Amino acid sequence: MKAHDMREMTLEELEAHHDSVIDELINLKIKLSLRQLDNPMRVHSLRRDVARAKTVLREKRTGAMPGETPGASKAAE
């Protein structure tokens, strides 16, 4: 899922999406360790989805603008 799609979600929807991606990632890691995974690149894409979700969650919780560096507004003061 793209970051701009995640930014349109509510906080509750985004948290639920984050939790479901984490669960899927755990299941895929287990299958990967048992050599039962058909597409190992799926783990890579899910890890990036988790990072995107965490970033958007942080932006929503702190009220930061997308792409804004954390602490950048404090440095300007």
Q: What average pLDDT does the structure give for the chain?
A: 89
Q: State the burial class of residue 3 (Cβ atoms within 10 Å of its Cβ: 0-12, 13-18, 19+).
A: middle
- Residues 6 or more apart from 40 whose CB is under 8 A from it? 32
Query: What are the start-end ranges of the H helices in the chain?
Result: 3-7, 11-33, 41-62, 72-76
Say which amino acid occupies 53: A
For 3-76, the fitting CATH number among 3.20.20, 2.60.40, 1.10.3470, 1.10.287 is 1.10.287
What confidence category does residue 70 fall into, taking pLDDT thresholds of 50, 70 and 90? low
By percentage, how much of the chain surpasses pLDDT 90?
73
Side chain identity at 44, as an amino acid letter? H
